[in-house]
C-alpha cells in the first residue's frame, strides 16, 4: 500500500464498502458521543467521516489532537446506517472505521477557526492565508479559478488560437498606470518594467505571422486597490487576431463567454449575442460606461425642461430623471430611503414626483412645474400612471455617477432587477482623445487603437470628435476588458501620437520595435484582454476580487504573509547601483 494513501478522502463511495483503505488529510471536525468518536477528515478532494471507539488505539489520539493536524489513518469502509446518511456530502453514505493512526503534522493553536468558519478581519486572513485557503469557501473559489482557466484554454485552442508567452522583463509603456520597475545590474542606471499588458508583444506576434494568439497573461500595475481590482498583479485572457475587424473579436469572445458562464453557472441565464451600446449612449442612458443591464431602468436627460423652472434647486444645472414604473403607490419611507441612499453616494439630495392614476404629478417638486412642463416631463420619461420619477441635479459628471448607482438600487427595491442572470454588453465607439484638466489632449483609451476614419479623420476632424475602434465588454456592471482594432500603419501611428503631444522622435524612442515592424508588412489586427480574476469573481459570486486569488496583496499593496515589499541590504543596493532616498517626514 502507498506510504500515505490508497484513496483520497472525497473519492470513496458505497461501492468501496468492506475495502481496507489508507487516507491522509487534516482533522476538520469531530463529535464525541461518549465512547464513539466521529471525525471528519479533509483533503483537497473532499471530506470523509472517520469513526473509532474507545477500545481502539486510534481513539485517544483522534480525540486529543488539535483540529487541523495532519494524520494518516488506516481503516475499513463501512456503510452508514440509514438514519446517519449525510446527503450533503458525496461520501455521506459511508464512513471509515479507523484501526491505525500516524500523526504527520501536529497543529499549533489556530489564530482563527477553519471550521466552523468565523468572521475574521482581512489582515489576519492574509497573514495566515495558508489557513484561510483551507476554509471551504476559499478552497472552492481557488479550485473554481483553476477549472475556469483550464476551460478557457480548451475553448481558445478549439478555435485555433496559439498559446504563446511574452516577456515579463521589458520596457516601460504608457498603458494608463504606473509601471513596476526592475533595476538592471548589468546596465547601471537603467530599468526594466514589468508589463502592464503584453500589448506591443502581441501586436508584434501578429506582424510575425502568428494568426491567432492567446495567453493567460500576468500583468503588473502600480495602482490602488478596489473591490474589483487587486493592486500589483492580475491575470488576463490576452487575445489577438490577424485580418480581423471588431465583429470578429466579438464573435469569438461571445462564444467563449456564453459557453463558459453557462458551464460554470448553469442556473443563471446568459444570452447572446451581447447588445452593443455606444459609449455616449451608455453615459446618457445609464450614467456609466459600465452599465448593469440586470436593472431594467434607464435615465433621461431633462435638463432642458428645468432650464427656466421656478424650482431654483435645478435652475441652470444638469438634471437626470429616473422613471421607476409601478412605484407610485409606495409608502413615503421608500422615497426617504432612496434619498438617503443617494446622499450616501455623494448627492446633496434626491428629488422625486409621482404620476397618479389620472396622469397628474404629485410630490414635493410638482408645484414648481407649469402644466406644459409637467406634460413634457411625463411624455419624455414615459411616465405612465403609477410611475415614480427621481431626479439628480448638478455637475454632469457628478450627477451621472450618483444616478447610475440610484438606477441599480431603485431597480432592486422595485423588483425590476434580475438576480439570477449574467447580462453582458459591448460598449463601443469610445472617443479617441480626451482633454485633460490642463487643457492638453491625451488618449482616452488604448493609444495603439485605430481611429475611425483613419489618417483622414486625424488630419481633418477636431480630436475630441474622433471615435476609435475601441470597445469594452461589461457584465453585470463589471468591466471585464478593453479591446481595440489596432493601428498597424506607421503614418497613422505618428499622427495619432502627435495629436497627443508625442513628437516623432519620442514615438521612435518609446515604441521603436513596433514602429519598425510596421514598416515590414503588418496585417490588420484586433484584440482584447478580459480579466481572469474578474471572471472568476463573477462566477464565484464574490463581491471582492481578493476572494478569488490565492495570495493577493492587501489594500495597501502589501503581502502580509511573505513580508513584501521588504528592505534590501546595502550590499545589494550597491550591486544594483542604487541608493534610497526616503520621503521626508511631515512637518520637516
CATH value at residue 251: 3.30.930.10
Q: What is the pLDDT of residues 277-319, one digit of tens each?
A: 999 999 999 999 999 999 999 999 999 998 877 777 888 899 9
Using the predicted structure, report yes or no on whether residue 578 has a pLDDT greater than 90: yes
Per-residue confidence (pLDDT) for residue 312, from 0 to 100: 78
Is 446 inside a domain boundary? Answer: yes
Location of C-alpha cell 481502539? 56
Both 360 and 447 in a single domain? no
Asked if residue 452 lies in contact with residue 466, where contact means CB atoms within 8 angstroms, the answer is: yes
Q: How far apart are CA 495 and CA 234, in angstroms?
A: 32
Per-residue confidence (pLDDT) for residue 581, from 0 to 100: 87
Q: Which of 389, 417, 445 is a domain's end point?
A: 417
**Residue 564, strand partner residues:** 559
Per-residue confidence (pLDDT) for residue 586, from 0 to 100: 66
How far, in Å, are 63, 244, 499 from residue 58 at the CA level?
Answer: 8, 66, 77
Percent of residues, the chain, with pLDDT higher than 90 = 86
Per-residue confidence (pLDDT) for residue 446, from 0 to 100: 85
Q: What is the pLDDT of residues 181-224, one digit of tens each?
A: 999 999 999 999 999 999 999 999 999 999 999 999 999 999 87
Is 385 inside a domain boundary? Answer: yes
H/E stretch holding 49: strand 46-53
Q: What is the pLDDT of residues 368-408, one digit of tens each?
A: 888 888 999 999 999 999 999 999 999 999 999 999 999 99
Using the predicted structure, report yes or no on whether residue 456 has a pLDDT greater than 80: yes
CB atoms within 10 A of CB 350: 23
Per-residue confidence (pLDDT) for residue 228, from 0 to 100: 74
Per-residue confidence (pLDDT) for residue 453, from 0 to 100: 96
With cut-offs at 50, 70 and 90, classify the pLDDT of residue 583: confident
How far, in Å, are 28, 49, 80, 81 from residue 84 at the CA level?
Answer: 18, 11, 6, 5
Using the predicted structure, report yes or no on whether residue 176 has a pLDDT greater than 70: no
Per-residue confidence (pLDDT) for residue 370, from 0 to 100: 86
Is 119 inside a domain boundary? Answer: no
Q: Which range, of 107-111, 209-213, 465-469, 576-580, averages the lowest pLDDT?
A: 576-580
Predicted structure pTM score? 0.92
Q: How many domains does the chain have?
A: 4
Asked if residue 58 lies in contact with residue 101, where contact means CB atoms within 8 angstroms, the answer is: yes
Domain coverage including residue 168 = 137-205+215-264+532-554
Both 82 and 142 in a single domain? no
Location of C-alpha cell 521589458? 170
Using the predicted structure, report yes or no on whether residue 588 has a pLDDT greater than 70: no
| Strand extents, DSSP E, 164-253 | 181-183, 191-193, 212-221, 232-242
Both 316 and 411 in a single domain? yes
Is 118 inside a domain boundary? Answer: no
Rounded average pLDDT over 243-251:
97
Q: What is the pLDDT of residues 436-452, one digit of tens each?
A: 888 899 999 888 999 99
Both 409 and 442 in a single domain? no
Per-residue confidence (pLDDT) for residue 487, from 0 to 100: 95
Q: How far apart are CA 157 and CA 163, in angstroms?
A: 8
Both 475 and 539 in a single domain? no
Both 311 and 394 in a single domain? yes
Asked if residue 477 lies in contact with residue 407, where contact means CB atoms within 8 angstroms, the answer is: no
Q: N- to C-terminal Cα distance for the chain?
A: 70
Q: Which of 527, 543, 565 is a domain's end point?
A: 527
With cut-offs at 50, 70 and 90, classify the pLDDT of residue 164: very high
36-43/46-53 β-pairing:
antiparallel
For 422: left if phi > 0, alpha if psi spans -120 to 50, otherwise beta; the answer is beta
Using the predicted structure, report yes or no on whether residue 489 has a pLDDT greater than 60: yes
Q: What is the pLDDT of residues 222-233, one digit of tens each?
A: 987 776 777 889
Q: Which of 382, 417, 452 is a domain's end point?
A: 417
Per-residue confidence (pLDDT) for residue 445, from 0 to 100: 83
Both 61 and 163 in a single domain? no
Rounded average pLDDT over 163-182:
86
Using the predicted structure, report yes or no on whether residue 174 has a pLDDT greater than 80: no
Q: How far apart are CA 169 and CA 162, in angstroms?
A: 22
Both 148 and 194 in a single domain? yes
Is 538 inside a domain boundary? Answer: yes
Rounded average pLDDT over 495-513:
93
Is 573 inside a domain boundary? Answer: no
Per-residue confidence (pLDDT) for residue 296, from 0 to 100: 96
Using the predicted structure, report yes or no on whether residue 72 has a pLDDT greater than 90: yes
Both 445 and 482 in a single domain? yes
For residue 321, the 8-state DSSP code is E
**Sheet containing 162-163: order of strands:** 162-163, 212-221, 232-242, 525-528, 478-485, 470-475, 424-428, 276-278
Helices then strands, counting H and E runs in the chain, come out as 15, 24
Q: Which range, of 249-253, 535-539, 583-587, averages the lowest pLDDT?
A: 583-587
Both 506 and 486 in a single domain? yes
Both 51 and 153 in a single domain? no
Asked if residue 252 lies in contact with residue 529, where contact means CB atoms within 8 angstroms, the answer is: no
Both 444 and 506 in a single domain? yes
Is 271 inside a domain boundary? Answer: no
For 585: left if phi > 0, alpha if psi spans -120 to 50, otherwise beta; the answer is beta
- The radius of gyration of the chain from alpha carbons, rounded to an integer in Å, stands at 30
Per-residue confidence (pLDDT) for residue 34, from 0 to 100: 86
Is 492 inside a domain boundary? Answer: yes
Per-residue confidence (pLDDT) for residue 584, from 0 to 100: 78
How far, in Å, are 333, 347, 398, 405, 426 from residue 343 at the CA level?
Answer: 15, 4, 12, 11, 30
CATH code of 390's domain: 3.30.1360.30
Location of C-alpha cell 479550485? 143
Per-residue confidence (pLDDT) for residue 458, from 0 to 100: 96
Per-residue confidence (pLDDT) for residue 231, from 0 to 100: 83
Amino acid at each position: 500500500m502507498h506510504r500515505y494513501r490508497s484513496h483520497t478522502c472525497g473519492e470513496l463511495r458505497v461501492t468501496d464498502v468492506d475495502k481496507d483503505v489508507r487516507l491522509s488529510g487534516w482533522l476538520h471536525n469531530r463529535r464525541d458521543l461518549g465512547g464513539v468518536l466521529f471525525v471528519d477528515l479533509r483533503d483537497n478532494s473532499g471530506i470523509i467521516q472517520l469513526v473509532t471507539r474507545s477500545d481502539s488505539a486510534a481513539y485517544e489520539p483522534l480525540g486529543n489532537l488539535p483540529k487541523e493536524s495532519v494524520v494518516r489513518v488506516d481503516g475499513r469502509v463501512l456503510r452508514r446506517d440509514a438514519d446517519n446518511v449525510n446527503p450533503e456530502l458525496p461520501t455521506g453514505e459511508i464512513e471509515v472505521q479507523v484501526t491505525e493512526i500516524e500523526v504527520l503534522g501536529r497543529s499549533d493553536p489556530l489564530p482563527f477557526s477553519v471550521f466552523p468558519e468565523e468572521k475574521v478581519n482581512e489582515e489576519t486572513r492574509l497573514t495566515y492565508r495558508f489557513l484561510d485557503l483551507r476554509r471551504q469557501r476559499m478552497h472552492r473559489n481557488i479550485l473554481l479559478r483553476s477549472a475556469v482557466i483550464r476551460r478557457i484554454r480548451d475553448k481558445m485552442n478549439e478555435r485555433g488560437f496559439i498559446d504563446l508567452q511574452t516577456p515579463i522583463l521589458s520596457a516601460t509603456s504608457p498603458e494608463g498606470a504606473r509601471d513596476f520597475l526592475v533595476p538592471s545590474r548589468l546596465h547601471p542606471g537603467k530599468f526594466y518594467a514589468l508589463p502592464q499588458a503584453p500589448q506591443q508583444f502581441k501586436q508584434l506576434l501578429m506582424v510575425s505571422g502568428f494568426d491567432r494568439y492567446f495567453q493567460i497573461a500576468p500583468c503588473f500595475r502600480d495602482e490602488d486597490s478596489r473591490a474589483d481590482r487587486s493592486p500589483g498583479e492580475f491575470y488576463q485572457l490576452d487575445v489577438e487576431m490577424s485580418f480581423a475587424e471588431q465583429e470578429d473579436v466579438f464573435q469569438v469572445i461571445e462564444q467563449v463567454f456564453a459557453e463558459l458562464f453557462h458551464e460554470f453557472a448553469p442556473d443563471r441565464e446568459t444570452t447572446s449575442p451581447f447588445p452593443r451600446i455606444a459609449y455616449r449612449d451608455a453615459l446618457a442612458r445609464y450614467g456609466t460606461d459600465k452599465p448593469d443591464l440586470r436593472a431594467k431602468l434607464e435615465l433621461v436627460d431633462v435638463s432642458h425642461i428645468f432650464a427656466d423652472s421656478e424650482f431654483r434647486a435645478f435652475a441652470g444645472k444638469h438634471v437626470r430623471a429616473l422613471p421607476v414604473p409601478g412605484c407610485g403607490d409606495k409608502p413615503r419611507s421608500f422615497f426617504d430611503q432612496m434619498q438617503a441612499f443617494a446622499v450616501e453616494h455623494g448627492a446633496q439630495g434626491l428629488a422625486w414626483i409621482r404620476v397618479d392614476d389620472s396622469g397628474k404629478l404629485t410630490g414635493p417638486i410638482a408645484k414648481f412645474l407649469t402644466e406644459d412642463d409637467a406634460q413634457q416631463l411625463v411624455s419624455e420619461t414615459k411616465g405612465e400612471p403609477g410611475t415614480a420619477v427621481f431626479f439628480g441635479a448638478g455637475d454632469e459628471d457628478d450627477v451621472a455617477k450618483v444616478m447610475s448607482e440610484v438606477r441599480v438600487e431603485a431597480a432592486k427595491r422595485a423588483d425590476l432587477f434580475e438576480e439570477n442572470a449574467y447580462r453582458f454588453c459591448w460598449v463601443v465607439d469610445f472617443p479617441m482623445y480626451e482633454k485633460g484638466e490642463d487643457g492638453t489632449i491625451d488618449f482616452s483609451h488604448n493609444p495603439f487603437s485605430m481611429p475611425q476614419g483613419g489618417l483622414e479623420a486625424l488630419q481633418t476632424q477636431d480630436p475630441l470628435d474622433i471615435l476609435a475602434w475601441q470597445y469594452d465588454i461589461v457584465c453585470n456592471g463589471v468591466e471585464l476588458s478593453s479591446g481595440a482594432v489596432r493601428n498597424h500603419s506607421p503614418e497613422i501611428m505618428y499622427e495619432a501620437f502627435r495629436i497627443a503631444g508625442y513628437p516623432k522622435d519620442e514615438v521612435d524612442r518609446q515604441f521603436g520595435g513596433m514602429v519598425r515592424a510596421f514598416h515590414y508588412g503588418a496585417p490588420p489586427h484586433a484584440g482584447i484582454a478580459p480579466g481572469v480574476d474578474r471572471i472568476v469573481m463573477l462566477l464565484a459570486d464574490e463581491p471582492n476580487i481578493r476572494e478569488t486569488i490565492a495570495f493577493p496583496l492587501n489594500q495597501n499593496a502589501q503581502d502580509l504573509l511573505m513580508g513584501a515589499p521588504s528592505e534590501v541590504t546595502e550590499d545589494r543596493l550597491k550591486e544594483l547601483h542604487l541608493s534610497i532616498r526616503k520621503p521626508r517626514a511631515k512637518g520637516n
